[in-house]
């Protein structure tokens, strides 16, 4: 099992230094969001072959797999001009994916409003169909570029449950679309106690499509779920890892939203879960 971390959960630093730091911390995978980890211009047109290849080779030299190239977009932004820019940005990442040597390019599914926050407006049919439209366009591009999209569900998005993810995958019908499974994103303060059933449902519906696991943890505080270091909260990782083992596949596990001084402790917790 590859264990990784988000690059931007560490300080900003040059690619060489970031790859070395991640390796020194005992990880062999990363979720890399170029715009969040580096100080150079990362807007439209910036992901040239040369830059993408150079960053990809740097991480390979340090034996760190770029498991996810992070490009989290607002794919159904209510302003169609903004939506178009977001989709084009994602397509640039798909075009660069093979030069980076990444497993997949990752995103969530946006929000019916410009700002991404929890709203039941997301759970209506119209936003769902808007996601399908955007995803079909991106899947076609992924196929053309021989790249893979990693799509992540979450309660702040129109794809908010195992059932909506399954429906999306069925409608897109593409081998170039896989799932980033984030257990925390499927839970609310009201549903976390039902987590084992929710996780089992997800693996039952699309376990074969799960390509990466996001590992974070939460506690219930003042009526809402708040981040804590992995292994210190409410998430039933025993069930999560059992479900992964039952697929018969090994997938990268990426720490998310964990920063020093808690990184090593969380890494050890995940490594112990695997054995």
Instruction: Give CA–CA dist 132/168, Å, rounded.
Output: 7
Q: What share of the chain is helix, strand, coil (3-state, %, to 5)?
A: 50, 15, 35
- Residue 12, phi then psi, degrees to nearest 5: -65, 135
Rg, Å, the chain Cα set: 18
Instruction: Give CA–CA dist 216/235, Å, rounded.
Output: 8
By DSSP bridging, strand 3-6 and strand 253-255 are parallel
- Residue 129, phi then psi, degrees to nearest 5: -70, -30
**DSSP-based three-state secondary structure for 203:** helix
Residue 171's CB is within 10 A of a number of other CB atoms, namely 14
Q: Are 259 and 267 in contact (CB under 8 A)?
A: no
pLDDT 10s digit of each residue in the chain, 275 long? 999 999 999 999 999 999 999 999 999 999 999 999 998 888 889 999 999 999 999 999 999 999 999 999 999 999 999 999 999 999 999 999 999 999 999 999 999 999 999 999 999 999 999 999 999 999 999 999 999 999 999 999 999 999 999 999 999 999 999 999 999 999 999 999 999 999 999 999 999 999 999 999 999 999 999 999 999 999 999 999 999 999 999 999 999 999 999 999 999 999 998 76
Q: Side-chain half-sphere of 168: how many Cα atoms within 13 Å?
A: 33
The pTM score is 0.97
DSSP 73-103: --TT-SSHHHHHHHHHHHHHHHHHHHHHT-S
The separation between the first and the last C-alpha atoms of the chain, rounded to the nearest angstrom, is 10
- Residue 218, phi then psi, degrees to nearest 5: -145, 160
pLDDT at residue number 133: 98
Q: Residue holding tokens 């390796």?
A: 23
What does the block give as tokens for 202? 């997800």
Whole-angstrom CA distances from 149 to 40, 62, 91 are 25, 25, 10
- Residue 187, phi then psi, degrees to nearest 5: -115, 150
Q: Are 5 and 263 in contact (CB under 8 A)?
A: yes
């Amino acid at each position: 099992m590859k264990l990784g971390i988000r690059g931007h959960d560490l300080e900003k630093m040059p690619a060489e230094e970031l790859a070395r730091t991640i390796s020194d911390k005992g990880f062999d995978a990363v979720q890399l969001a170029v715009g969040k980890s580096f100080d150079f211009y990362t807007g439209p047109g910036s992901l040239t072959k040369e830059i993408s290849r150079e960053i990809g080779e740097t991480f390979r030299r340090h034996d760190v797999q770029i498991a996810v190239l992070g490009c989290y977009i607002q794919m159904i932004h209510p302003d169609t001009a903004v939506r178009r820019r977001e989709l084009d940005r994602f397509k640039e990442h798909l075009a660069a994916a093979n030069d980076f040597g990444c497993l997949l390019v990752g995103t969530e599914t946006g929000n019916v409003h410009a700002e991404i926050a929890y709203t039941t407006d997301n759970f209506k049919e119209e936003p769902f169909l808007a996601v399908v439209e955007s995803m079909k366009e991106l899947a076609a591009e992924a196929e053309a570029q021989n790249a893979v999209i990693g799509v992540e569900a979450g309660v702040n998005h129109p794809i908010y449950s195992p059932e909506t993810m399954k429906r999306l995958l069925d409608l897109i019908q593409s081998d170039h679309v896989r799932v980033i499974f984030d257990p925390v994103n499927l839970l609310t303060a009201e549903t976390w106690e039902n987590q084992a059933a929710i996780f089992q449902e997800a693996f039952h519906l699309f376990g074969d499509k799960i390509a990466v696991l996001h590992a974070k943890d939460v506690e219930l505080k003042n009526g809402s779920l708040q981040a804590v270091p992995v292994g210190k909260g409410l998430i039933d990782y025993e069930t999560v890892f059992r479900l992964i083992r039952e697929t018969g596949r090994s997938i990268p596990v990426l720490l998310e939203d964990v920063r020093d001084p808690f990184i090593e402790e969380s890494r050890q917790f995940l490594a112990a879960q695997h054995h």
